[in-house]
Chain A
Amino acid sequence: MSGYILKRLLSMLPILAVVAVVVFMIVHLTPGDPAAVMLGDEAGEKEIAELRSQLGLDLPLAVQFFHWLANVLQGDLGRSYFSDVPVTQAFWEHLGPTVSVAILAQIIAILIAIPIGIMAARRRGTMIDQAVMGVSLFGISVPSFLLGLFLILLFAVQLKWLPVAGYKPLSSGLWNHLRYLILPALALGFMQAALIARMTRSSMLDIIADNYIKTARAKGLKETMVIYKHALRNACIPILTVIGETFGGLVTGAAVVETVFNIPGIGQLIISSVERRDYAVIQGTVLLITVTYVLLNLIVDLLYGIVDPRVRLNRKER
Chain B
Amino acid sequence: MEKRRSLFTDSPLKKKLLPILLASVFALTACGGQTTGGHTSEGNAGSGSTSAQGNSTQAESPATGGVINIAYPAKAATLDPHTTTNASTKDIARQIFEPLVTLNSKYEVVPMLAESYEVSQDGLSITFPLRKGVKFHNGKEMTADDVVASMNKWLKVSTQGKANLSGAAFTAKDPGTVVLTLQKPSLLTLHILADTAPFPAIMPKEIIEESGVEAVKTFIGTGPFQLEEWKQDQYVHLKKYPDYASRTEASDGLGGKKEALVDDLYFHYVTDESTRVAGITTGEYDIAFSIPFDNAEQIENSPDVSSFVSEGGMTTFVFNKKSGLFSNVKARQAVNAALDIEEILISAYRDSRYYTLDSGLALPNQSDWHSQAGKEEYNQHNLDKAKQLLAESGYKGEEVTILVTRDYPDYYNAAVVAQQQLQAIGLNAKLDVYDWPTMQERRKDEKVWDFFVVGFAVRPTLHQLPFLDSRGGYPGWTNSPEIDKLLDEIQSAPSIAEAKPLVDQLQALVWQELPIIKLGNRVNMAAVANHVQGLQDVIGPILWNVSTTKK
Give A contacts to B, CB under 8 Å: 30-33, 36-45, 47, 82-83, 85, 90, 93-94, 145-146, 149-150, 152-153, 156-158, 160, 163-167, 256, 259-262, 264, 268-269, 271-272, 275-277
The residue that A164 contacts in the complex, of B197, B275, B441, with Cβ under 8 A, is B275
Shortest 4 CB-CB contacts between residues of A and residues of B: A40-B85, A32-B437, A31-B441, A41-B2
Residues on the A chain within 8 Å of B523, using CB: none
Closest Cβ of chain A to B413, distance in Å, is: 21
B197:A40 contact, CB within 8 angstroms:
yes
Q: Is the CB of B281 within 8 A of A85?
A: no
Q: Which of A42, A44, A158, A259 is B11 in contact with, Cβ under 8 Å? A: A259
Chain B residues near A160: list those with CB within 8 A.
282
Report yes or no: B438 in contact with A271, Cβ–Cβ below 8 A. Answer: no
Instruction: List chain A residues, Cβ under 8 A from B26.
Output: 153, 157
For residue B457, give the distance in angstroms from its CB to the closest CB of chain A: 9
CA distance A167 to B275 in the complex (A): 13
A8–B436 Cα gap in the complex (Å)? 42
Q: Please tell me which one of the listed residues B85, B197, B233, B466 contacts residue A272 in the complex, with CB atoms under 8 A apart.
A: B233
Specify the main secondary structure of chain A where it touches its partner.
helix
Say whether B22 faces chain A, with CB atoms less than 8 Å apart.
yes
B282 contacts A156, C-beta separation under 8 Å: yes
CB of A267, distance to nearest CB on chain B (Å): 11
Name the residue in A157, A264, A276 with the highest tally of chain B Cβ atoms < 10 Å from its Cβ.
Answer: A157
Within 8 A of A (CB), among B420-479: 434-435, 437-438, 440-442, 464, 466, 472-473
Q: Contact check, A272 vs B284: say whether CB atoms are below 8 A apart.
A: no
Min CB distance A14 to B, Å, is: 32
Given contacts A41-B2, A259-B271, contact A156 B278 (CB under 8 A): yes
Say yes or no: B197 contacts A150, CB within 8 Å.
no
One of B83, B275, B466 near A262 (C-beta < 8 A): B275
What are the residues of chain B within 8 A of A268 when measuring CB–CB?
Answer: 233, 271
- Interchain residue pairs with CB less than 8 A apart (25): A32-B435, A36-B440, A37-B437, A38-B77, A39-B83, A41-B1, A42-B464, A43-B159, A45-B473, A47-B162, A90-B232, A149-B22, A153-B22, A153-B26, A153-B29, A153-B278, A156-B282, A157-B282, A158-B29, A166-B279, A259-B271, A262-B268, A262-B272, A272-B9, A276-B7
| B84 located at the interface, meaning its Cβ lies under 8 Å from any Cβ of chain A in the complex | yes
Partner of B159, one of A40, A149, A158, A275: A40
User: A280 to chain B: closest CB distance in Å?
Assistant: 13
How many angstroms from the CA of A237 to the CA of B9 in the assembled complex?
42
Q: Nearest chain-A residue to B439 (Cβ)?
A: A31
What's the Cα separation between A145 and B272 when bound, in Å?
12
Q: How far is the CA of A69 from the CA of B3 in the complex (A)?
A: 37
Kindly state whether residue B221 has any CB partner on chain A within 8 Å: no
Q: How far is the CB of A271 from chain B (nearest CB, A)?
A: 6
| The residue from A33, A44, A260 contacting B275, defined by CB atoms under 8 A apart | A260
Residues of A within 8 A of B272 (CB): 165, 259-260, 262
User: Would you call B6 an interface residue if the criterion is a C-beta within 8 Å of the partner chain's C-beta atoms?
Assistant: yes
Over the window 5-28 of chain B, the binary record of Cβ atoms lying under 8 Å from chain A Cβ atoms (1 yes, 0 no) is: 011010100100010011001100
Asked if B85 and A41 sit within 8 Å, CB to CB, the answer is: yes
Q: B235 CB to closest chain A CB, in angstroms? A: 9
Residue pair B77, A275 in contact (C-beta under 8 Å): no
A40→B4 CA distance, assembly (Å): 7
Say how far B198's CB is from chain A's closest CB, in angstroms. Answer: 7
Cβ–Cβ < 8 Å partners of A275 in chain B: 7, 9, 11, 435, 437
**Contact between A38 and B84, CB atoms less than 8 A apart:** yes
Are A47 and B159 in contact, with the CB atoms below 8 A? yes
Q: What residues of chain B lie closer than 8 Å to A260, measured between beta carbons?
A: 14, 18, 272, 274-275
One of A146, A165, A276 near B270 (C-beta < 8 A): A165
CB contacts (< 8 Å) of B306 on chain A: these are none
